[in-house]
Chains A and B, each alone.
Chain A
Amino acid sequence: MSKENQPSGNKIAGFFKAFGADLADIGTTFVEGNWMTKVSFLIMGFGPLLRKQFVRGIALLLTEIVFIYYMVSFGAGYLKDITTLGTQGRGFNPDGTVSYGDNSFFILLYSILSIIIVFAFLLVWRINVRQNKNAEKLLAEGKKLPTVKQDLLSLLDEHFDKTLLALPFMGVFIFIVLPIIFMVCVAFTNYDAQHQAPAQLFTWVGLDNFKNLFSMGSTGFGSTFLTVLAWTIVWAFFATFLNYFLGMVVAMLINKKGIKFKKLWRTILVMTIAVPQFVSLLYIGKMFAADGLVNGYLMRWGWIDQAIPFWTDPTIAKVLIIILNCWVGIPYIMLICTGLLMNIPADLYESARIDGANAFQMFRKITLPYMLFVTGPFLLTQFTGNLNNFNIIYLLSGGGPKSMKLTGGAGHTDLLVTWLYKLTLTNTDYKMAAVLGIMVFLVTAVISLVVYNILPSVKDEEGFQ
């Protein structure tokens, strides 16, 4: 953690220094190396093969062959079009046959992939150079090079991290990194319902979409974005802290001295975690519908004449969602608090009682500070989780009620993420969805960073121990 406290200028300067040193090292390796090393600069793995390090040599040589084959047969064709994202859409030849033109989607996707592969290849090439250097050094010192068997065994021992991380890393790369880079690029194009490849191509439009997001005019997204953002933050605040305090209270009630059947109470609450949310939340959502159970009973008992518009009145819908979220969230907090509450030293309470403190004072002066201290980082993850809490909103209200004042199909209870989902699926407005996704990321990242740095448990790790 100490590294983080250095001024950022040092880091950047350090990076360039390391980069420069690396380049110099490559140079000296070439100048001082023997002919095998020199050939390896062009034909990767040449040196290792001649030095009988077959596994390394074949692996490096294969990488180079595959890379060249990929770039020539596939990558380069897409890369050359990256500035325009294709010029010729699908159309018809004069004789009536379909002519398959460019496809902006794949041009963009495979160009990004190719660029990343080029960088990865450079990295492998650097490893190739370093291996030659190390091998020469070992031989010069009169030592033996690792045999094939040793090489393979090292993958289960000192290089076990590479074996372990290879697949998970590839998974994250293909299923998260590549699509995210792709979508960040889409934010700078006009990819939407009118520009769907292959029939209609899309192209770069610079910062237009971002301007659109902040433009306040009747067609702009500005006012809708601010409305949705405000509700998202209000929602996350209440969803986090209301659950937190009520959950703590429930945990304290169950933990209270002299209360029996502790396990039973906990089990009843935990039911909400066990039952899949799409069953329980869809059911509860329907319970509050105009013809639902709640309205039905209230009307039968004569308490109300007309159905309460739970899901059609914006304010009631918002309050209801926050309350219903307690039903989902409290058991979870209760589980966490139960364990932690038992960790508070009992003699703290004992001495407070002798000093004449009542239950509320003890809660405020002992329990709450302790809990806030210990669960600080957890509260932060809860908060950012709630900013992106898709299930609750989507299954309960579907983002509704709809509003004429909001653009892009947004409803009154839509969070940024549910709106993003609607933009993608209902409106197929991919470009704005991408812009919104970047905004969600920025909001989450900024809040995390700011809060993380003011958390007491981060500033002062030993505080309560």
Chain B
Amino acid sequence: MSKRAKIGNTITYIILILVSIVWLFPFVCLILQSFRSYITEPGGQVNYLLPKTFSLDSYKFLFSEECQFFKWYGNTLIIAVCVTIMQTIFVLMVSYALSRMRFKGRELLMRFWLILGMFPGFLTMICLYFLLKQFGLTQAGAIPGLILIGFASSGMGYYVCKGYFDTIPKSLDEAARIDGANRFQVFTIMLIPLSKPIIIYTALVAFMAPWCDYIFASYIAFGYSDSYNVAVAMYRWVMTNDYQGYFTRFCAGGLLVAVPITILFMCLQKYYVEGVTGGAVKG
């Protein structure tokens, strides 16, 4: 290796280490702060990083009776699981129809959905709220309501999955059809097993979204704390309630939310990268 290349690599390493520090710093802070006691060392963000005494007070609070943290956690989990299942099914159905079948109005439908996507999502918020309220799906019934909102229009997000289906040769379909399979069988027996990576990608993206859903969740569950999801409840801790007092509890709760999701994501990272890259190149 030449001397110049060595210097170049050293500089690269230094930059990468600095970048890593910047990227990991907030997470390290979050973890450290969650172990600060809100009783003996109160305050929001104090001007030191390492807690003076290591304490589990914030976690104890989350696990205690007075806090509904695990109710909220369960709500979010239920929403996430239901939305994941339904959204994956919807996306697969739409992708198959648009990728494999040629029917009247296909182009029109695709263009129409593309244009619909340009409206800001929560323009429809007020209307949906009253619509759901008619069926008792707000406040106390907010969880089924949020599930419904989560997946009902998910068919519009077919791009990545359809792009993947397009790369599977159509000759496979034709061969199966000559053997007497109908389209339903081609779809379920042949195409779905071939699409494992894209199914995992679709499911992963669908699963992660409800954990961050603040906009709709806060509106639909308005004022009814039994129906909150973690994002709504914890946003209230740091923004509307007593920020100074609840900050370490927010850190602890955030950590409990982030850890399982991060582990899940890291395990399925390969599929995520595949989906994102494929989607980006095809536009």
Contact = CB atoms under 8 A, between A and B. Distances in A.
B218 to A, nearest CB: 9
Which of B1, B96, B182 lies at the interface centre, i.e. has the most chain A CB atoms within 10 A of its CB? B182
A421 B53 CA distance: 42
Nearest to A446: B118
Interface string A203-229: 000000000000000000000000000
B64 interface: no
A355 interface: no
A174 B110 CA distance: 17
Contacts of A391: 212, 214
Interface SS, A side: helix
Interface in B94-147: 94, 96-97, 101, 103, 109, 113, 115-116, 118-128, 130-131
Contact of B123 (A269, A284, A340, A420): A420
A265 B23 CA distance: 10
Given A161-B101, A176-B153, A256-B12, A274 B262 contact: yes
Interface in B120-178: 120-128, 130-131, 148-149, 151-156
A276 to B, nearest CB: 5
B44 A289 contact: yes
Contact of B90 (A168, A275, A279, A283): A168
Contact of A175 (B8, B130, B152): B152
Given A282-B235, A448-B118, A433 B123 contact: yes
Contacts, number: 260
A180 B283 contact: no
Interface stretch (A28-36, A66-74, A373-381): A373-381
Contacts of B116: 172, 176-177, 180
A270 B128 CA distance: 34
B156 to A, nearest CB: 6
Contacts of A279: 30, 234, 254-255, 257-258
Interface string A431-465: 00110010011001100100000000100000000
Given A156-B182, A157-B183, A180 B124 contact: yes
Interface string A362-397: 000000000000111110110010001011001100
A440 B119 contact: yes
Contacts of A448: 118
Query: Interface extent on A, as a size class?
Result: 35 or more
A175 B153 contact: yes
A61 interface: no
B26 A284 contact: yes
Interface string B211-225: 110110001000000
Contacts of B126: 183, 424, 430, 433
A139 B141 CA distance: 54
Contact of B239 (A398, A424, A457): A398
A268 B152 contact: no
B122 A420 contact: yes
A420 B26 contact: no
Interface string A6-20: 000000000000000
A459 B156 CA distance: 26
Given A180-B119, A287-B26, 15 more contacts: A168-B155, A171-B151, A273-B272, A274-B262, A275-B258, A276-B212, A277-B212, A278-B212, A278-B214, A283-B251, A292-B44, A335-B276, A335-B277, A336-B280, A440-B120
Closest 5 CB pairs of A and B: A296-B47, A377-B283, A168-B155, A179-B124, A437-B123
Interface of A: 105-106, 109, 153, 156-158, 160-165, 167-169, 171-172, 174-180, 182-183, 250, 253-254, 256, 258-259, 265, 267-280, 282-284, 286-287, 289, 291-293, 295-297, 299-300, 327, 331-332, 335-336, 338-340, 374-378, 380-381, 384, 388, 390-391, 394-395, 398, 416-417, 420-421, 424-425, 430, 433-434, 437, 440-441, 444-445, 448, 457
